[in-house]
Amino acid sequence: MTPENKNTHIRELCDTLLQIAALLISSGASTGRIRNTITRISDSFGYHTELVINNRTILLTLRDESNEQSFF
């Protein structure tokens, strides 16, 4: 995968994960459930996830295993 394609992939995945997290939080899911779900999905794509969740904000950082690509 070229660096441009990888960058596009990580951006699309991050957007999708944020949408999933927003849907979960708006439907009343606990922060633990949101964290587990987002982590499982990102792990399946080979990315490490860092999440900060509160009642008004979801901050998501994705990193690949070599830490060459990251998206905030």
What predicted TM-score, i.e. pTM, was given to this entire model? 0.84
**71 in helix, strand or coil?**
strand
Both structure tokens of 18: 């944020």
18-57 pLDDT per residue, tens: 999 999 999 999 999 999 999 999 999 988 899 999 888 8
The whole-number pLDDT of residue 1 equals 60
30: its two tokens: 């606990």
Per DSSP, the residues of 37-60 read: HHHHHHHHTTEEEEEEE-SS-EEE
